[in-house]
Amino acid sequence: MDDKQKSSKILKSIQPKRIIYPILIGLGVVVYMLYKEIDIDTFKAIQFTWYTLFWLCVALGFMAIRDIGYMIRLKILTEGEISWKKIFRIIMLWEFASAVTPSAIGGTSVAILFVNKEGISLGKSSSVVMSTSFLDELYFIIMFPLLAFTLNLDQLFMGEGTGIFENSLFWLALTGYSLKLVYLITLTYGLFFNPRGLKWLILWVFRLPILKRWRNEANQTGTEIIQSSKELRHQSFKFWIKAFGATALSWTARYWVVNLILLAFFFQGYNFMEHIMIFARQLIMWIMMLVSPTPGGSGFSEWVFTKYLGEFLPNAGIATSIALIWRLISYYPYLFIGIYMFPRWLKSKF
């Protein structure tokens, strides 16, 4: 398969018409939950005031900070080779790709193409995308234990008097964390120490009958790791500190959006440690959303939100409404930005 065929196959998976699927799934789940839990009296606790509008605008501002963090990171990783305008376009297209593909796949599979078509060599494009994956996982690997040691584990995992080791949610989170840790160690080994050895290991694993059908993709991934390694080995410690700082800014801003939405409606309802708990639980939610088969975790995300953060709200009906507002701020804008930008980008690049 030549580069043109690969590009065509990748782009076919993120056609703008797919926007209808996550919208229908997400809104369908919300409508069902509202119908199931609806009680007019429950919504009396929600009051829209100028104060509410202010904090919702701050929440939107934090989503902008999240994207700015991504842009700064991409500027660092590309060593300033492309303009801010092109970087903004890459980030928006990347988020759109993530929004219309299952959470377990995300936009990374097409990100190399986006970066490459904006004027970065294929080898460097691979290194940039691999670096973002490395930095994202590193943030999670560092933050999760810090928050776990700071907070009450039984409360963090919604324990109800049982021991933490009897809590199924704890084991789910621990399993997800372990998988991320193994992935990070493997990626670090491949990118910085032995890329050819990692490619051999990947191809060996994909000889298994159940995985054999994806062997060509695995071979391409191995090649990208080798190309990335050549680009990344010479980078300084200062380079990685700056890139990780931008990553931390982006992810932290993303997680604080929920806290700000809750402030908009229930400003006096939470103390500082409860806000930290809400922030920490979103890291747990992220593990759950990774296994969602729906585009962008649509539907599944709204359901997890009501179940896992519902205890911080007066009732289930309000939790569903807040979940919808959360998705309207943090998810749906990328769908509509993408539907505008993607066809124009295709026309200019192909």
Q: What is the pLDDT of residues 327-342, one digit of tens each?
A: 888 888 888 888 888 8
Q: What is the DSSP letter of 18?
A: G
Between residues 151 and 36, the one the model is more confident about: 151
Exposed (0-12), middle (13-18) or buried (19+): which is 73, by Cβ within 10 Å? buried
Predicted pLDDT of residue 250: 96
139, 247 contact by CB (below 8 A): yes
Residues 6+ apart with CB under 8 A from 98: 106, 107, 296, 334
Between residues 45 and 202, the one the model is more confident about: 202
In single-letter form, the type of residue at position 234 comes to: H
Predicted pLDDT of residue 282: 85
| 162 pLDDT above the threshold of 90 | no
- pLDDT band at residue 6, thresholds of 50, 70 and 90? low
Predicted pLDDT of residue 241: 96
Q: What is the mean pLDDT of residues 193-211?
A: 81
Predicted pLDDT of residue 302: 67
Whole-number Å distance between alpha carbons of 229 and 218: 17
| 142 pLDDT above the threshold of 90 | yes
3, 102 contact by CB (below 8 A): no
Q: What is the mean pLDDT of residues 288-296?
A: 60
- pLDDT band at residue 160, thresholds of 50, 70 and 90? low
Query: What separation in angstroms does the CA of 42 have from each of 52, 194, 310, 315, 317?
Result: 18, 58, 13, 7, 7
Whole-number Å distance between alpha carbons of 293 and 288: 11
Q: What is the mean pLDDT of residues 220-241?
A: 84
336, 328 contact by CB (below 8 A): no
Place of tokens 């994202």: 136
CB atoms near residue 336 (< 10 Å): 13
Query: Lowest-confidence range among 15-29, 109-123, 131-145, 162-176?
Result: 15-29
| 217 pLDDT above the threshold of 90 | no
Predicted pLDDT of residue 348: 83
Output the average pLDDT for the chain: 79
| 15 pLDDT above the threshold of 60 | no
Token code pair at residue 266: 């229930």
CB atoms near residue 181 (< 10 Å): 14
125, 232 contact by CB (below 8 A): no
Whole-number Å distance between alpha carbons of 67 and 105: 20
Exposed (0-12), middle (13-18) or buried (19+): which is 53, by Cβ within 10 Å? exposed
Whole-number Å distance between alpha carbons of 200 and 216: 13
158, 263 contact by CB (below 8 A): no
